[in-house]
A and B are shown apart, each in its own frame.
Chain A
Amino acid sequence: MYDFAYHKPSSVADAVALLGDSEAKALAGGQTFIPVLKQRLNKPSAVVDLAGLGLSGITVTATTVTIGASTTHVTVANSAEVKKAIPGLANLASWIGDVAVRYRGTIGGSLANNDPAACYPSAALALGATIKTNTREIAADDFFQGMFTTALEPGEIILSASFPIPEMSAYEKFRNPASRYAMVGVFVAKTASGVRVAVTGASQGGVFRHTAFETALSANFSASALDGIATPADGLNSDIHGSAAYRAHLVGVMAKRAVAAAA
Chain B
Amino acid sequence: MPQVTLTVNGKTASVEVEGRTLLVELLRDKLGLTGTHVGCDTSQCGACVVHVDGKAVKSCTMLAVQANGAAVTTIEGLAAADGTLHPMQEAFRENHALQCGFCTPGMVMSAIDIVATHPDGLSEAEIRHCLEGNLCRCTGYHNIVKAVSAAWPVMHGKVAAE
Contact = CB atoms under 8 A, between A and B. Distances in A.
Interface of A: 1-6, 8, 27, 30-31, 34-35, 37-38, 47, 49, 51, 74, 97-101, 103-104, 178-180
Of residues A2, A74, A98, A99, which shows the largest number of chain B Cβ atoms within 10 Å of its Cβ?
A99
27 contacts: A4-B19, A4-B20, A5-B19, A6-B2, A6-B65, A30-B63, A30-B66, A34-B22, A35-B43, A37-B20, A38-B42, A47-B19, A47-B63, A99-B56, A99-B110, A99-B114, A99-B130, A99-B133, A100-B43, A100-B133, A101-B43, A101-B58, A101-B61, A103-B55, A103-B56, A104-B61, A104-B62
A103 B62 CA distance: 11
Interface residues of B, number: 27
A96 to B, nearest CB: 11
Contacts of A34: 22, 43, 61-63
Contacts of B56: 99-100, 103
Given A3-B20, A4-B20, A47-B19, A30 B62 contact: yes
Given A30-B63, A35-B61, A51-B66, A101 B133 contact: yes
Given A99-B133, A101-B133, A103-B55, A31 B114 contact: no
A37 B2 CA distance: 18
Given A100-B110, A103-B56, A103-B57, A6 B133 contact: no
A49 B66 contact: yes
A232 to B, nearest CB: 33
Of residues B66, B113, B114, B133, which shows the largest number of chain A Cβ atoms within 10 Å of its Cβ?
B66
B44 A178 contact: yes
Cβ-closest 8 pairs across A and B: A98-B133, A6-B19, A1-B20, A103-B55, A100-B58, A3-B20, A98-B132, A4-B19
B18 A3 contact: yes
A3 B19 contact: yes
Contacts of B42: 35, 38
Interface string B98-117: 00000000000010011000
Interface in B33-73: 41-44, 46, 49, 55-58, 61-63, 65-66
A27 B133 CA distance: 22
Nearest to A94: B129
Interface in B138-161: none
A35 B42 CA distance: 6
A5 B55 CA distance: 27
Contacts of B114: 99
A4 B21 CA distance: 10
B51 to A, nearest CB: 10
A37 B63 CA distance: 11
Contacts of A98: 46, 132-134
Given A2-B20, A3-B20, A104-B57, A179 B44 contact: yes
Contacts of A5: 19
Nearest to A6: B19
Contacts of B130: 99
Given A30-B66, A34-B61, A38-B41, A97 B133 contact: yes
A180 B132 contact: yes
A101 B62 CA distance: 10
Nearest to B2: A6
A8 B42 CA distance: 24
A26 B42 CA distance: 20
Nearest to B46: A100
Interface in B75-117: 110, 113-114
Contacts of A6: 2, 19, 63, 65
Contacts of B2: 6
Nearest to B61: A34
Contacts of A3: 18-20
Nearest to B59: A100
